[in-house]
Amino acid sequence: MVQLDEQVQSQWAQVENVYQRRADLIPNLVASVKGAANFEQETLTQVIEARAKASSVQVDPTKLTPESIQKFQEAQGQLSQSLGRLLVTVERYPELKANQNFLELQSQLEGTENRITVERQKFNTVTQDYNSKIRTFPNNLTAGLFGFQKKGYFQAEAGSNKPPKVEF
């Protein structure tokens, strides 16, 4: 059980690592976008504020409760939404779409989003192994005696099971 608990904590650290990578890319992305004339300041402000909020939510790896993971996921989700709005807004600025620095940052950000998905999936897998171990007999007796508690999972965003409405 200790070994599985350590795997969960280690994988959580990897999840935080890839989210930090994304947070580290954002200032450079914002700086390249700021250079575009008349770029919507409100969109940039939302990204900066969402990044600050997401960076401030810390989860103790020894207390990976469903509630703490949900709080972390909500903050990261707001940042994802802000970044999505930023990238959609960029479509109206041909000079940005032609800027090599911006394109490279956008590519790195997309790669990081893929890494986040992979690490979250790995986290859920090791968490499932841990939770299964501590809940099956006779391990559940030992787990209860030594304080091993069920860990939370990453969940799909609310409403993600419905396809987006597309209008032309």
Residue for token pair 């989700």: 77
Residue 153 φ then ψ, to 5°: -115, 160
- Confidence (pLDDT) at 163: 54
Contact status, residue 47 vs residue 131, Cβ threshold 8 Å: no
pLDDT for position 50: 93
State residue 158's pLDDT score. 61
Tell me how far apart the alpha carbons of residues 60 and 69 are, in angstroms, rounded to a whole number: 10
pLDDT along the chain (168 residues), means of 10: 95 95 91 73 88 92 91 93 88 80 89 95 96 95 93 76 50
Task: Confirm if 130 and 60 have CB atoms less than 8 A apart.
Answer: no
**Whole-number Å distance between alpha carbons of 126 and 143:** 17
Show the domains of the chain with their CATH numbers. Answer: 2-146 (1.20.1440.20)
